Structure 1
Amino acid sequence: MSDAPAPHPANLPAPNLLGFRITHRAMRADSRRLADATGEIAAGRQPCGPERAAAIKNYVVKLCQGIHHHHKAEDDHLWPLLVRSAGAEVDLSELSEDHSELDPLLAEIQSVAGDPAELAKPMRRLADLLDEHIAEEERQLFPVIMRHVTAKDWEELEKHVRKGGDPRFELPRIERHARPEELAELRRLAGPVLVVMLALLRPGHRRRERLVFGAV
Structure 2
Amino acid sequence: MVSVAETTHDTHPRTEQMAVIHRIFRTAFPEIADLVRRTPPTSPRRAEVVAGYLDFQLNGLHAHHTTEDRNIWPRLLERAAPTADVIERMERQHEAASEASDRVRELAARWRVTPTNGAELAAAIDQLTAILVEHLDDEEAHVVPLIREHITVEEWEKFGEDAFAKFTNAQKLIATGIMVEVATPEEASWFLDPLPLPIRIMWRLQGRRKYAAYIRRVRGARDHGLLLRRLGPSVNRLGTSLYRRSHGRVGGTAKGCPVMLVTVPGRRTGTPHTTPVAYFDYDGTYLVSGTAGGSVAEPQWFRNLRATGTAHVEIADREQDVKVDVLPRVDRDRIWRDVILPKAPSFVKYEQKAGRIIPVAVLTPAGDS
Equivalent position of 2:183 in the other structure:
178
Per-residue deviation, 1:33: 0.9
Separation (CA, whole Å) in 2 of partners of 1:199 and 1:120: 36
1:11-42 Cα deviation digits (max 9, x unpaired): x711112432221111111011112332344x
The one-letter amino acid paired with 1:72 is T
1:140-164 Cα deviation digits (max 9, x unpaired): 1111122222212222222232231
Equivalent position of 2:160 in the other structure:
158
Per-residue deviation, 1:200: 2.8
Equivalent position of 1:109 in the other structure:
104
Contact 2:17–2:187 (8 Å) recurs in 1: no
Per-residue deviation, 1:137: 0.5
Equivalent position of 1:35 in the other structure:
33
Q: Runs of 4 or more off by more than 6 Å in structure 1?
A: none
Moved more, 62-71 or 48-57: 48-57
Per-residue deviation, 1:199: 4.1
Equivalent position of 1:121 in the other structure:
123
Give the share of equivalent positions with the same residue, in percent. Answer: 22
Per-residue deviation, 1:173: 0.9
Contact 2:21–2:179 (8 Å) recurs in 1: yes
Contact 2:37–2:122 (8 Å) recurs in 1: yes
The one-letter amino acid paired with 2:35 is A
Separation (CA, whole Å) in 2 of partners of 1:196 and 1:81: 37
Moved more, 131-140 or 157-166: 157-166
Separation (CA, whole Å) in 1 of partners of 2:148 and 2:83: 13
Pairwise CA RMSD of aligned residues?
2.3
Contact 1:77–1:160 (8 Å) recurs in 2: no
Equivalent position of 1:211 in the other structure:
217
Contact 1:187–1:195 (8 Å) recurs in 2: no
**Which structure has more RCO (C-alpha within 8 Å, separation ≥ 6)?**
1
Per-residue deviation, 1:194: 3.8
Number of aligned residue pairs: give it: 201
Q: Secondary structure at the match of 1:126?
A: helix
Equivalent position of 2:192 in the other structure:
187
TM-score by length of 1: 0.82
Moved more, 159-168 or 177-186: 159-168
Equivalent position of 1:96 in the other structure:
91
The one-letter amino acid paired with 2:25 is M
1:45-84 Cα deviation digits (max 9, x unpaired): x787333212101101111111111111111111112122
* 1:70-85 alignment, distance < 5 Å: 70-85=64-79
Separation (CA, whole Å) in 2 of partners of 1:174 and 1:73: 18
C-alpha distance 194-20 of structure 1, shift in aligned 2 (>3 A): farther
C-alpha distance 38-13 of structure 1, shift in aligned 2 (>3 A): same
> Unaligned 5+ residue runs, structure 1?
1-11
Compare the two structures and name the one with the higher strand fraction. 2
C-alpha distance 197-190 of structure 1, shift in aligned 2 (>3 A): same
Separation (CA, whole Å) in 1 of partners of 2:215 and 2:209: 10
Equivalent position of 1:140 in the other structure:
142
Contact 2:177–2:208 (8 Å) recurs in 1: yes
1:17 to 15, 18, 43: 15
C-alpha distance 111-28 of structure 1, shift in aligned 2 (>3 A): same
Equivalent position of 1:200 in the other structure:
206
